[in-house]
Structure 1
């Protein structure tokens, strides 16, 4: 189907020369990209040759015969299948079908636990939201949002295993019980999260089992950073950044807004607001924070940076050392390890430009002593960590934006200590969330397991570590367990179970408690005779004991809660309050006086300017590999590369050309094979781009420790001579083998949702030690090609000024300086882009609106519902593109997983599309000749990045409504563009007519059939169904589950709106009854039905840690978040007077089309340092696409 052509205005001609793009194809304007722009759907049945479109007698008889045969197959089973709803025999009084219950809990995490509010329906956890009442509750990232899906994973471990084979719990207890009776030496490896109860049990176990020791390990916990901090500030110290106090930030490869958190992203976003809504010049630049970023590959933090520098990982310590030297700090070995002039020129064109970048950055840090902070990535070695600590001491960070806490988490060894300590008498217990057999480099850990007397693994998955151990115990999910943990600042928080263990798993605390019980049990009593009652040894209890007895973990947590440091005079009242709120007040860590700490001894090791360097980093979807079986995360596109279901080697355009893979983008795939159908003639597909036929070139990478072949993708803004690869992929099947295994239809594993099978490549095999930066011996292009699912061009929205950006500095425009105030004033109307379009005349008149004619009759309010008119505003100045809103929407609205094959064909079902744009000035005005000349190469190679979340705009003049032949998409009285699913016949006319490309079509029964089994969707009713009932338990009962042939899209979480309205009506009725009136006389005023401000949040708004999404009632002038952003509202000042306020950064996407969307955006503001060499190139990234 051809895409509807909207007549976009010409791109305004200015002197900035900014080019914007999403992919290599769009940047190079390849024929395949132009073909993609012209068609509506990436791949489908509409692409037929003229010969195939001719109807002949033969083709007619062929189709009619096939349809008759199919009807004969299906008529015998056309009745609706019987289903039963079984009621409670004795229903709990607090459980009402369809009405949620909310509980406070916490997700354990090494960087600090995440406070949550868990939504449950009839005992089933369905969605997770941040606990706003918690001291540290300010958002829930994508990993947290998706963790609820792991609870219902049918592939979760559910059996005891001995040597990889099914065994019984009794056999396990017999083996370990006998060893416990002897007081065996234990080596217990746990995660890096801080649990007070586990700390207490550790002390008791070490006393009960002589010679035992506990160790902490997680693959991406930052061993070097923790080691240096313990040396300088004392054992158990932890550094947290208070971004609300940070005016200037220099980040050295620390993605603190993404995979390397060191503080609250919410505090950072508030400091990005600058002068507030008005953004006056005199306050904006001073009030906004300023972020300098040095990194190898674009990160979420790098996308927010005001100044960004590309550098290889091995150069980070040298750059930090040059900053330290500029601050007057002595760095040992600087002359041997500093950057050469040649390296500086590779980074910023000339050595002088690079030195100027560092000098101006240092000057800015000096000017903001006490409110500046420098951060180091957790993956980097000790040199960088020591230098950064010295810098922060010099600029007064400690005691200001940087706080050092004394966690009290002492006495834990490292994984290296474990490898050295294990001997033939040691019983190894692996209780942490990591998979060290897979992610620990080298062979030392595996040798330790083989050397031990007995190895036991507790985990939710039967991963490589589980099968390498002698015994495996199925673990309980944290939503099935009692526990306690601490946040990053140390607030004591509780984890409580929402549901009994689905598969009989055991929690970490239950296992540790059982170890003590076995040791304390009187084993001699088993042999005594004449006992009145039979003596039974302790046994492992999962969730609860016999007759509903509480879990041992609950008793252990209660005991910890009663300790002197936690106890208070209220007793049980305090416990119940802590359960209700999820945390104990006034329980944070004690701070450490950093000024009195020791010297970090900054030093710089000698280094060589090597060739290509391998940069290994955490993955935004699978982290270190623990979420490999989570379909939501696997299908969520990477925020930067937009790759789904895989990892790849990311390289800069220059490095890609050097390897000979950049030109592969212009190769075409003339035919695409679709399973069970054969070859279908299709529009040309690029080899790197969208479509099922997209196959990326492969490269063979060799290091001193290993080799691997992996697909290569071009990453803009990437450091040259460097390759970045995400960790966590390439895990084997349940047989424990590393690498990719192709699952066939007849494979038994194919019946158990093999989410993690056949996904990605294991980059750990390139590592020989704990370093995440490796020198490559050779990198060569091979003849192989690998199918990839890239979504960067899927559902592409084309138009002018889609995402808008301004700078606090003056910018050049037609030879004139444009001040910041003028830039702000022009955000709403982008010159000729919007100025020619008349003001949108809304069918739903806004408060106090008048028409252009002044006719009294036409001034009447035409709003159908005068109580609620919903709207949303998204602030691009704080949005980092983290996918939290995407996952939250998927959990709330029953959005299905479709699998890699369907994603590659452009059929992903996400209601929120996270667009990501690159933009860079390609030309500039020469001051001497007054002619346009190309910008420096280092400017073009370091573009800006802007994310933009897009969902249904809920247009008041919706183009989709006018073309639906069955009226399946209609407008509600409250201004919502709604779908009647049972009317939809799947013409897809609405998707074709939507300029925002925000609609999704169910090509198959994704909710009924298993999309992860090869070719299963194409078999229709003969295909395999989803496995088990567990995945269905996660679904929200208040949201319809859509079927094949139905269009769907964002609904503004209408189920939440309706629930809030019902509750508000009940409140109004109760107020009337409390006034003493009879129920038959109850009359509720219309204004009493208006949902109160802040009483409702949509899913994406609830999850956003940056508070980028505002949602509310446009008719409620007290609902200032959206009203002031989108329209003119009234704001109460301190004097009590009301004044009109209008946010100047607000604009409507594609305003010139006249759709009058209810969702609007606030433009991004960059705050560059005017003295920096790249200042004139920042803040210009307004996006115009084909």
Structure 2
């Protein structure tokens, strides 16, 4: 079987074009990265060219060992018997194999997430956004992954008293005997009306109410918060606020509506003119999801955000702060005239905000000081912004952890009950010692973390999918939480405990006190206590007319006092919220652990991040480049051969240099990564990792088997950044010192995995007129000609449709070769709104039963995600003069130090002329009648020829039985049938019964969620038959018109990634339906549409000029296409002429 060889134009080695890269190796053009692109087999194959050769001796050894292993299992080789147990009395609404959907809500400190839960036979399996909710958006990665926590084997299952099992009656007696006047209740920052009502009732009896989240930041005012409406914002200044990522503010879908750039008409509802497109200014330290979307981005050390805020405020007439020249120069490093450049940046930013007036919006990050938040509020007030308003909340009136600490030390509080998802003994400096002064302490949570073992009592929590409750969204809409399943391990909900503290009883039988409390709150809120109001609220998932009431907020900018400027010898250390684990609460969630960080692409760990400039100053950059990883290869018997992997710089033996980081008088040893776009003289360390380790690493809490604080998933993952954090420096600290070491640490990075040959893979244009490229309209017309597509010759198809005269180079006279004339599926991904948040990645994993493979396998390139999130950095290294790149000149240093970032989701693109299909010897990958490149798993024999022949590198191979064997135990996968099985049976309950669970030796990939497509077609056919029966026709008289009756309603079916996307970046639908959104994005891309629809019904759809095919020069005719990103820079800004050109000059 031959490999289809591509011979694309080679990227020039002299840096003559705009540079776009994914990793240090690609940026530097190392030999290892070039070898990676040329590698015969895709990543995950552990064989190099020499090891692929099989000698007669090795073949004989292999066959002999196989026979011996087969003989071992001959005795008692019988499949274990299992029995189907029927219902004694089946619920009338449950039909086996048919899903039921319920509206519910996930509580969150960033605002409740309205959901629709998919259940099978009472098992929740998938979470989707509730599109009927007034605050409807998509979901985040944490929400998608939260269903896995329900079935987690590491969940707490017993009530513990002093570390020993206790009963519910003992718990009830103990709690109800507490003196409430000396008791503090510690809650999270999610806002629940019922909880607030019950808490206030306990407060009236003397209880103290505290709210605590490890990364929530200092509030601007007590009892008042701000609501943001991005649809009213045309100009946005974000001061270290990652509102699209870890600092959620406002509705991301509303932001994306204003982000739709261009004059295309593919989305009539959300489309805006380029001149009305919003503009985002971002000031931050490390690249965030929001920073990647910014039109202008200023990278500064965290303490300098206040200086930038003060300077812009002064330019708007708020305050009179003016940084000195030394300060300005530090804020614009790499520029020849840094002072003038900074002044220009501030002046033009302020002028743009001022011109926007009421449609301007200034946001301050939660981790920033109260002073920065006051400056932002004052600027909003000055501009009269209508995009932000103050509202009254109950939660802001609670005390803080500092208040609790003071009362515990004074003896005013003797009892503490923790109802927060945070882990203060682990993440709050010195709190463990203070907690020891309490006479009685109770912890409520899903797992026994450090706080649980430090308390006298631990109560297993009921997951929100097992609980009754309510929560408010960001705008204050009350949304109901209803249980999908009874508590698997007898856990109690937060409302159950509060009801118990108030003198009530625990749940028993059909008595659910939490449900009664929620109904009481609903009656008090709406004035309606009837069953109809209750049923409507449950059906809809929310209560209408319950938004927050308007509040008042006044802010006076404070006097700005800054610490000394950072330097390589005195760094500023940032304690960042992790994009996956947040503050560490998801440490035992394997989906989130294995989801690559959106920026660094690290999995299963955290690492310090520093800029290339700082890395070079500290002598770290060369250490990263010089690493030569080694990979142990499994051999028959006990032989293990070690060979160097020059291909990727990654693999089982891939290592990152370790440094000793000292700050606040404390030291930690951590691995370090080069982070492009990071502020100089600063270092970022994500928090939440290192909760337990038994491998001897420093920088993590030592694991105690008698008091396990994490499960197998969270063990030996990362380093404890909280160890460096103090009460006075919770979010960043000055005076950090880095000392290099000779030690290295194995990391699992995916940034070079599945790299594709080609240039201008992720494309963008600018609303500004560009030298040699014309205005915005002209740039749009030439999107399809960026990169290799500008000069690659026309390809000759491998297929010859009927009537084709391709070989004689005459005009193609093609008739339809499509088998199905009802549905032809396609997708378009809009890079202009995609943030790279990983929600689609985790949603796909939940929907399609994709297994976790563990850190070791990820490092070898064997991750199984069907959709990957490529992330490109790009900068214009050479100036463009007279329409051409001037190779003899270089742009200012600050331009190359401030790259742009573009995410690009890549899955199987469903090629019409799929090269994978031509090489499969057993027809395991075939084309369906509806244009889907499909897999027949039972035919696959694992040759991997298809993966070898896929230019998009979108196929995934099951090297081991990941679904059956536990990949988290070291070496377990290599033991085959002797390896440990997955822990417990509950994780399998989450699996989608409509998707096959794959086994070892099988290839898999994206299927366009074919199970959803089939379900939608069956439902459509049933509905049409029911209508005809209702009309009085008999069964033999029912005739179904194929096109009219069987075509699925326009855009009614959504694939998992599309439904999860909060920024509306994915369009999917029927390419034969002119009214479908995907057709309006792509146009009539199928040659046969006109023939199928006929002259009378055919309508020409132009589609968006931004639409292009990935690797178009290969001529695979992919069904998934992309829409180029649009930058909207302020042409008066000093960096404007360098923006929006990440790919436009690539040839």
Change (3 A) 1:968 1:1164: same
Once the two structures are superposed, residues 593-632 of structure 1 have per-residue CA deviations (whole angstroms, 9 ceiling, x without a partner) of: x5xx434243212431132110111101100000000000
Of 295, 307, 314 in structure 2, the residue corresponding to residue 306 of structure 1 is 295
Deviation (angstroms), 1:646: 0.3
Question: SS of the residue aligned with 2:357?
Answer: coil
- Is 1:471 aligned with 2:469? no
Deviation (angstroms), 1:84: 2.9
User: Partners in 2 of 1:379 and 1:965 — Cα distance?
Assistant: 57
Change (3 A) 1:335 1:1104: closer
Residue correspondence of structure 1 range 146-165 to structure 2 within 5 A: 146-165=145-164
Change (3 A) 1:139 1:667: same
Structure 1 stretch 803-812 or stretch 158-167: which is displaced more?
158-167
1:248·1:372 contact (CA, 8 Å) conserved in 2? yes
Deviation (angstroms), 1:1122: 3.2
Of 429, 434, 450 in structure 1, the residue corresponding to residue 422 of structure 2 is 434
2:823·2:1070 contact (CA, 8 Å) conserved in 1? yes
2:361·2:387 contact (CA, 8 Å) conserved in 1? yes
Give TM-score, length-normalised by structure 2. Answer: 0.93
Deviation (angstroms), 1:860: 4.0
Question: SS of the residue aligned with 2:918?
Answer: helix
Of 887, 905, 919 in structure 2, the residue corresponding to residue 949 of structure 1 is 905
- Is 1:407 aligned with 2:393? yes
Q: Which residue of 2 aligns with 1:67?
A: 66
User: Partners in 2 of 1:856 and 1:335 — Cα distance?
Assistant: 68
Deviation (angstroms), 1:129: 0.6
Q: Which residue of 2 aligns with 1:261?
A: 248
- Is 1:762 aligned with 2:720? yes
User: Partners in 1 of 2:1145 and 2:685 — Cα distance?
Assistant: 31
User: Partners in 1 of 2:315 and 2:441 — Cα distance?
Assistant: 52
1:647·1:725 contact (CA, 8 Å) conserved in 2? yes
Structure 1 stretch 408-417 or stretch 138-147: which is displaced more?
408-417
User: Partners in 2 of 1:1011 and 1:1184 — Cα distance?
Assistant: 45
User: Partners in 2 of 1:981 and 1:407 — Cα distance?
Assistant: 53
Q: Which residue of 1 aligns with 2:683?
A: 723
User: Partners in 2 of 1:418 and 1:660 — Cα distance?
Assistant: 44
Q: Which residue of 2 aligns with 1:185?
A: 182
Q: Which residue of 1 aligns with 2:100?
A: 101
User: Partners in 2 of 1:903 and 1:830 — Cα distance?
Assistant: 33
Once the two structures are superposed, residues 1100-1141 of structure 1 have per-residue CA deviations (whole angstroms, 9 ceiling, x without a partner) of: 00000101000000111121333442436999xxxx997743
Change (3 A) 1:54 1:454: closer
Structure 1 stretch 496-505 or stretch 922-931: which is displaced more?
922-931
Deviation (angstroms), 1:882: 0.4
Residue correspondence of structure 1 range 807-822 to structure 2 within 5 A: 807-813=766-772, 818-822=774-778
Change (3 A) 1:762 1:12: closer
Deviation (angstroms), 1:666: 3.1
Q: Which residue of 1 aligns with 2:192?
A: 195
1:47·1:683 contact (CA, 8 Å) conserved in 2? no
2:965·2:982 contact (CA, 8 Å) conserved in 1? yes
User: Partners in 2 of 1:751 and 1:859 — Cα distance?
Assistant: 65
Residue correspondence of structure 1 range 107-256 to structure 2 within 5 A: 107-177=106-176, 179-180=177-178, 185-207=182-204, 209=205, 211-223=206-218, 226=219, 228=220, 230=221, 235-256=222-243
Change (3 A) 1:477 1:299: same
Change (3 A) 1:277 1:671: same
Q: Which residue of 2 aligns with 1:42?
A: 43
| Structure 2 residue runs without a partner (length 5+) | 1091-1096
Structure 1 stretch 89-98 or stretch 467-476: which is displaced more?
89-98
Once the two structures are superposed, residues 180-200 of structure 1 have per-residue CA deviations (whole angstroms, 9 ceiling, x without a partner) of: 4x6552110011111111111
Structure 1 stretch 70-79 or stretch 969-978: which is displaced more?
70-79
Q: Which residue of 1 aligns with 2:1093?
A: none
Q: Which residue of 1 aligns with 2:1094?
A: none
Residue correspondence of structure 1 range 574-973 to structure 2 within 5 A: 574-592=533-551, 597-610=553-566, 611-669=570-628, 671-674=630-633, 678-685=639-646, 689-732=649-692, 740=700, 754-769=712-727, 770-813=729-772, 818-830=774-786, 833-834=789-790, 836-838=792-794, 860-925=815-880, 932-973=888-929
Structure 1 stretch 629-638 or stretch 773-782: which is displaced more?
773-782
Of 1053, 1066, 1071 in structure 1, the residue corresponding to residue 1027 of structure 2 is 1071
User: Partners in 2 of 1:1018 and 1:854 — Cα distance?
Assistant: 54
Deviation (angstroms), 1:1049: 0.2
Q: Which residue of 1 aligns with 2:1040?
A: 1084
1:812·1:818 contact (CA, 8 Å) conserved in 2? yes
User: Partners in 1 of 2:62 and 2:1078 — Cα distance?
Assistant: 57
Once the two structures are superposed, residues 639-667 of structure 1 have per-residue CA deviations (whole angstroms, 9 ceiling, x without a partner) of: 00000000000000111112211112333
Deviation (angstroms), 1:855: 12
Question: SS of the residue aligned with 1:346?
Answer: coil
Residue correspondence of structure 1 range 325-474 to structure 2 within 5 A: 325-331=314-320, 334=321, 340-346=327-333, 348-349=335-336, 350-397=338-385, 400-409=386-395, 411-422=397-408, 423=411, 426-441=414-429, 443=430, 445-474=431-460
User: Partners in 2 of 1:705 and 1:460 — Cα distance?
Assistant: 34
Of 1076, 1097, 1116 in structure 1, the residue corresponding to residue 1073 of structure 2 is 1116
Change (3 A) 1:580 1:240: same
Deviation (angstroms), 1:66: 1.6
User: Partners in 1 of 2:47 and 2:680 — Cα distance?
Assistant: 42
User: Partners in 1 of 2:574 and 2:31 — Cα distance?
Assistant: 33
User: Partners in 1 of 2:646 and 2:581 — Cα distance?
Assistant: 29
Once the two structures are superposed, residues 767-822 of structure 1 have per-residue CA deviations (whole angstroms, 9 ceiling, x without a partner) of: 12253111234210112110000000111122132111111111123xxx522111
1:661·1:781 contact (CA, 8 Å) conserved in 2? yes
Q: Which residue of 2 aligns with 1:512?
A: 498
User: Partners in 1 of 2:1146 and 2:333 — Cα distance?
Assistant: 30
Question: SS of the residue aligned with 1:75?
Answer: coil
User: Partners in 2 of 1:508 and 1:623 — Cα distance?
Assistant: 21
Deviation (angstroms), 1:880: 0.6
Deviation (angstroms), 1:2: 12
User: Partners in 2 of 1:727 and 1:713 — Cα distance?
Assistant: 15
Once the two structures are superposed, residues 979-1021 of structure 1 have per-residue CA deviations (whole angstroms, 9 ceiling, x without a partner) of: 0101101010000000000000000110001111111111100
Once the two structures are superposed, residues 528-555 of structure 1 have per-residue CA deviations (whole angstroms, 9 ceiling, x without a partner) of: xxxxxxxxxx4x32xxx23xx2311001
Change (3 A) 1:85 1:1171: same
1:336·1:606 contact (CA, 8 Å) conserved in 2? no
Of 955, 967, 980 in structure 2, the residue corresponding to residue 1024 of structure 1 is 980
- Is 1:297 aligned with 2:257? no
Change (3 A) 1:949 1:742: farther
1:650·1:723 contact (CA, 8 Å) conserved in 2? yes
Deviation (angstroms), 1:888: 0.2
Deviation (angstroms), 1:424: 6.6
User: Partners in 1 of 2:731 and 2:550 — Cα distance?
Assistant: 31
Deviation (angstroms), 1:222: 2.1
Q: In angstroms, what is the RMSD of aligned CA positions?
A: 3.2
Deviation (angstroms), 1:689: 4.0
Deviation (angstroms), 1:9: 3.4
- Is 1:1058 aligned with 2:1045? no
Change (3 A) 1:930 1:598: closer
